Amino acid sequence: MALDPVVVCLGEALIDRLGPPGGDPAVDRAVDDRLGGAPANVACGLARLGTSVAFAGRVGQDAIGEAFVCLFGERGVETALLQRDGERPSRIVLVRRARDGERQFQGFAGDAGAGFADQALEPVALPQARWLLIGTLPLAAPMSASALLSAVRQARSQGTAIALDVNWRPTFWDVTADPEAGPSAAAKVAIQPLLAQAALIKLAREEAVWLFNTDDPGVIQQALPQRPDVVVTDGAAPVRWQLGADSGQQAAFRPPSVVDTTGAGDAFTAGLLHRWAAAPQERIRFAAACGALVCGGAGGIDPQPTQAQVEAFLGEVS
């Protein structure tokens, strides 16, 4: 790696197969295949905003993998930590879209019997970075869980702060699970070490309630030994945050248009890390604008805004 990135995003890179609005992506046509996966989305969002970023993950030796190599190259995402799997395919996630743009993850396609490439992630040697951005999905498979926990140990040992976007998706843990189900007792046990080591935790409101029995970010901060910064999002409702001793709420911005809400939370996370040096309220405001703007196009990556576009939007709404 020529230069150490500010952020390393570790985890899944996959295809979101968006069904037609109101239809079933498993059977109805036409579907819309979009490159995605929360860590890949955040990496691309950071790069578009102008933050140096590396992606650590594993994709297949297939057309999807090649598409990610091209995408990361176009965005300027460092790929020295990107692994290719000759046995397992890249994962395709079936995404059911409601007519109002809301979505639900309902299963997978492409598995030929050996599982998916992201499940076989091998340990990586982390560069020095300001942040390691992770989610919980790698914990759902033994190999990727081991690689994730290895990265967390490395980050802690070299002074890299850990940003955790919980991103609970029950289908990854059990393909037969209700897409609306909360984490099982076993999943909560697996997730707990990440919660106890993260410097920044971002949760959706329902994730906060499942894991902490509260959606109050101040209470969550005090419940953990390291007293992390905590941000709780809630769709179109206000974002609540506790950053150090500062706390507040930020009303969600109304997107200029809503085509698809996939990736809105990842755009928010990218904006938050990109603007981390700003005052707490400004970080959240910028992040909220990023989340709103990504809803104007399909998928979580293509409609991501530049910093200039975010600033122009904020200038219009202020």
Domains of the chain are 7-317 (3.40.1190.20)
Predicted pLDDT at 87: 96
Return phi, psi of residue 204, to 5°.
-70, 155
Predicted pLDDT at 255: 81
Scored b (16 or more CB within 10 A) or e, 9-36 reads: bbbbbbbbbbbeeebebeeeeebeebbb
How far apart are the C-alpha atoms of 257 and 245, rounded to whole Å? 35
How far apart are the C-alpha atoms of 54 and 204, rounded to whole Å? 25
Parallel, antiparallel or unpaired: strands 131-134 and 161-165: parallel
How far apart are the C-alpha atoms of 238 and 308, rounded to whole Å? 24
Q: What is the 8-class DSSP label of residue 139?
A: G
How far apart are the C-alpha atoms of 304 and 42, rounded to whole Å? 10
Task: Check: CB of residue 140 under 8 Å from CB of residue 12.
Answer: no
How far apart are the C-alpha atoms of 269 and 202, rounded to whole Å? 8
Q: How far is CA 140 from CA 11, 55, 299, in A?
A: 11, 20, 24
How far apart are the C-alpha atoms of 268 and 284, rounded to whole Å? 8
Q: What is the 8-class DSSP label of residue 294?
A: G
- pTM for this model (two decimals): 0.94
Q: How far is CA 206 from CA 143, 170, 183, in A?
A: 28, 13, 11
Q: CB neighbours of 74 closer than 8 A, spacing ≥ 6?
A: none
- The H or E element that residue 61 is part of is none
In tens digits, what is the pLDDT along the chain, a chain of 318 residues?
Answer: 556 899 999 999 999 888 888 777 677 778 889 899 999 999 999 999 999 999 999 999 999 999 999 999 999 999 999 999 999 999 999 887 777 656 677 789 989 899 999 999 999 999 999 999 999 999 999 999 999 999 999 999 999 999 999 999 999 999 889 888 999 999 999 999 999 999 999 999 999 999 999 999 999 999 999 999 999 999 889 999 999 999 999 998 988 777 767 789 999 999 999 999 999 999 999 999 999 999 887 777 989 999 999 999 999 986
How far apart are the C-alpha atoms of 149 and 109, rounded to whole Å? 27
Predicted pLDDT at 27: 74
Predicted pLDDT at 101: 59
Return phi, psi of residue 112, to 5°.
-100, 10
How far apart are the C-alpha atoms of 158 and 98, rounded to whole Å? 44
Predicted pLDDT at 259: 72
Residue carrying the six token digits 């590396």: 54
How far apart are the C-alpha atoms of 271 and 273, rounded to whole Å? 6
Parallel, antiparallel or unpaired: strands 161-165 and 200-204: parallel
Residue carrying the six token digits 């992506």: 25
Predicted pLDDT at 248: 97
Half-sphere exposure of 153 (CA within 13 A, CB side): 9
Predicted pLDDT at 69: 98
Question: What is the number of other CB atoms lying within 10 angstroms of the CB of residue 253?
Answer: 19
Q: CB neighbours of 118 closer than 8 A, spacing ≥ 6?
A: 11, 12, 13, 14, 37, 57, 58, 59, 90, 91, 137, 138, 141, 144
Six-digit token string for 210 = 């499942």
Parallel, antiparallel or unpaired: strands 92-97 and 14-18: parallel
Predicted pLDDT at 3: 67
